[in-house]
Chain A
Amino acid sequence: MNYLWAFVIGGLICAAGQVLIDLTALTPAKILVLFVTGGVVLSAVGLWEKVAEFAGAGALVPIVGFGHTLAQGMARAVAKEGFIGIFTGGFSACSGGVGASLLFAFFIALLTKPKSQS
C-alpha cells in the first residue's frame, strides 16, 4: 500500500513540475527552487509531515521533500540549540544529500572524460 501511494504522490508531484515546464517559461533551475522553497513552506505549516506519513518516499524523494527535510531540521535545531540553531539547522539537515552528491560528483568527474551532458 505504501508503494502505491509513493508511486501516485511522487508521480503527481513530477507531473505538476511537467505542467510548469510545458505551460510556463520557467527554467528547470527556477522550478527546482520553487519546489524546494514550497517544500519548506508546506512542512512549516505541518502539511508535508502528514503526506509523508502515508506516501513515504513519494513525499520525500521529490525535491519538495528536500525542503521538508530542511524545515524539520531547522525546527529540531531551534528546539535543541535555540538561537544558534537558526544558523546550523538548515545546513545540518541537508548535509547528507549534499555531501553525497558532492562526493560522487567529484569522483565521477575524476574518472570520466570531460564531455557535454546537454
Chain B
Amino acid sequence: MKITKREYKNMAQKASPPSHLAKNCLWAFMVGGAICVLGEGLFNFYKNMGFIISDSRLLASVTLVGLSGILTATGLYGKLAKKAGAGTLIPITGFANAVVSPSMEFKAEGLISGVGARMFIIAGPVIVYGVLASTIYGIFLYFVMPMLR
C-alpha cells in the first residue's frame, strides 16, 4: 500500500484520539500547578522560620531542586514526566532533573569528561541564553535608560 505524506498525516490524525492534547494539557496543568503549590508551601515554611523573603524564595527553590534530584535518582521523576510532560519540565524541578539525569547517565564516562562535561548538556543553553538576555537588559539599563530620562 502506497500512501503520500498528506494521506499518512490524515490517517494518523484519525487514529490518534481527539482528546490527546486536552488530556496532556490537563496532566501538565495539574502536576505543574501542584509543584508550584509545594513551592509556595515551602516558601511559607521558611518565611515562618524567620528567613527574609528573598532567602525564603531561594531556600524553597533549593529544596525543590533537592527533592527533584532524589526523585530523579530513584527513577520516579522520569515516570511522572512521561504522564505530566511540560508539568514536570517547566518548573525548576525540571531544570534540576535536566542537570541530574545526564550526570547519572554519563558517570560511566568518568568524572571529568562524563559527569563534569555532560552535567549542563540540557541546562547549559538555559543558563547561556537566560544570562545573555539579562546581560542585554543590563546594557539597556546602564547605557540606554539614562538617555531616555
Name A's B-contacting residues (CB within 8 A).
Answer: 2-3, 6-23, 28-29, 31-33, 35-37, 39-41, 44, 56-58, 60-67, 70-71, 73-75, 77-78, 82-83, 85-87, 89-91, 93-94, 96-98, 100-102, 104-106, 108-118
Asked if residues B99 and A105 are in contact (CB atoms below 8 Å), the reply is yes
Most chain B beta-carbon neighbours within 10 Å: one of A22, A85, A109 = A109
Known A-B contacts A71-B134, A86-B138, A108-B103; the reply to A61 vs B39 at CB < 8 A is: yes
Q: Which residues in A have their C-beta under 8 angstroms from that of B27?
A: 18
Asked if residues B127 and A98 are in contact (CB atoms below 8 Å), the reply is yes
Known A-B contacts A10-B37, A33-B129, A57-B37; the reply to A106 vs B25 at CB < 8 A is: no
Interface size on B, residues (CB 8 A): 78
Asked if residues B131 and A86 are in contact (CB atoms below 8 Å), the reply is no
Q: Is the interface of A mostly helix, strand, loop or mixed?
A: helix
Asked if residues B87 and A32 are in contact (CB atoms below 8 Å), the reply is no
CA distance A7 to B66 in the complex (A): 21
**17 CB < 8 A contacts A-B:** A14-B87, A18-B24, A19-B25, A21-B89, A28-B89, A32-B122, A40-B133, A61-B39, A62-B91, A63-B91, A63-B95, A65-B92, A85-B138, A96-B61, A105-B69, A114-B104, A116-B105
CA distance A61 to B31 in the complex (A): 13
Name B's A-contacting residues (CB within 8 A).
Answer: 20-21, 24-43, 57-58, 60-62, 64-66, 69-70, 72-73, 75, 78, 85-87, 89-96, 98-108, 115, 119, 122-123, 125-127, 129-135, 137-142
Asked if residues B119 and A105 are in contact (CB atoms below 8 Å), the reply is yes
Known A-B contacts A11-B36, A90-B134, A104-B100; the reply to A63 vs B94 at CB < 8 A is: yes
Give, as a whole number of angstroms, the nearest-CB distance from B45 to chain A. 12
Q: Which residues in B have their C-beta under 8 angstroms from that of A11?
A: 28-30, 32-33, 36, 87
CA distance A51 to B7 in the complex (A): 45
Q: Which of B20, B33, B65, B129 contacts A97 (CB 8 A)?
A: B65
Asked if residues B86 and A40 are in contact (CB atoms below 8 Å), the reply is no
Give, as a whole number of angstroms, the nearest-CB distance from A95 to chain B. 10
CA distance A64 to B86 in the complex (A): 13
Q: Which of B36, B100, B132 contacts A6 (CB 8 A)?
A: B36
Known A-B contacts A7-B37, A18-B24, A36-B129; the reply to A105 vs B95 at CB < 8 A is: no
